Amino acid sequence: MYSHKYSLSIMQSDGNFVSTKSWLSRATLLTLFVSGVTACAPEPKQPDVVVVPTPQATVTVTATPQPTTTVVVTPSPQVTTIVKTEPITDVLVISNANKQTLVNRPVQFTNVNVQSVVGDRTFWVGSSNTQRVFVVLAPNLDAGTAENKVVVKKGQTLDLAGVLKPVPSVKQAQQQWKGLTAAEAQGLKNQIIYLEANQIRFKQT
């Protein structure tokens, strides 16, 4: 009797075991089935999204060269005008003109009278004390053999050629022209100009 209970107990246990085992098998199969179904189920298709980087706008800056303007300056040829000034031939022209405008003017006197002699190289020519010109012989007429030949005296008649020049200061005039007194130098200053004669000819009276 003991053994029969034992056997029944075992069988019951085995039945439970079998039942339990059977349940486990069904659960396993169910899990596998679900897994298979899940595995076989098509995955939701993701849309193909292609991320294309937005191209940066490329700005091409072309430097346009500034037009170069070449300025060619052609110097205008300087026109040298040589004015041939006619020489002054009359003492009255010098006496009555604005004497400062006559500086460097050429002079060509013919048959002028020597009014007075001031020094070795200086004298006055003209027709009167108000119409006269102070004359200074150029150095070439008062040097070497010319010094003995050129002797000017009052009352002589001469042909003279030369250039009008500005009168120096009183002190310079006395230093340059021997025999000129202070009073004469001062009076000469008022004349403004004088004739530097580089040619002289004595006329027969």
Rounded CA Rg of the chain:
69
Task: Report helix, strand or coil for 9.
Answer: helix
Who has greater pLDDT, 145 or 70?
145
Query: Can you give the pLDDT at residue 179?
Result: 80
Average model confidence (pLDDT) across the chain: 74
Q: What is the band of 13 on the pLDDT scale with cuts at 50, 70, 90?
A: very low
Query: Can you give the pLDDT at residue 9?
Result: 43
Who has greater pLDDT, 109 or 18?
109
Query: Can you give the pLDDT at residue 143?
Result: 73
In DSSP terms, 194 is beta-bridged to: 165
The span from the CA of 43 to the CA of 82, in Å, is: 114
- H/E/C letters for each residue in 78-133? CCCCCCCCCCECCHHHHHHCCHHHHCCCEEEEEEEEEEEECCCCEEEEECCCCCEE
CA neighbor of 178 nearest in space, from 104, 123, 124: 123
The span from the CA of 32 to the CA of 102, in Å, is: 140
Residues 8-20 as b/e (b if ≥16 CB within 10 A, e otherwise) read eeeeeeeeeeeee
User: Average pLDDT for residues 96-103, to the nearest whole number?
Assistant: 91
Give the count of beta carbons closer than 10 Å to the beta carbon of residue 61: 5
Contact, 187 vs 129, CB < 8 A? no
Query: Can you give the pLDDT at residue 139?
Result: 87
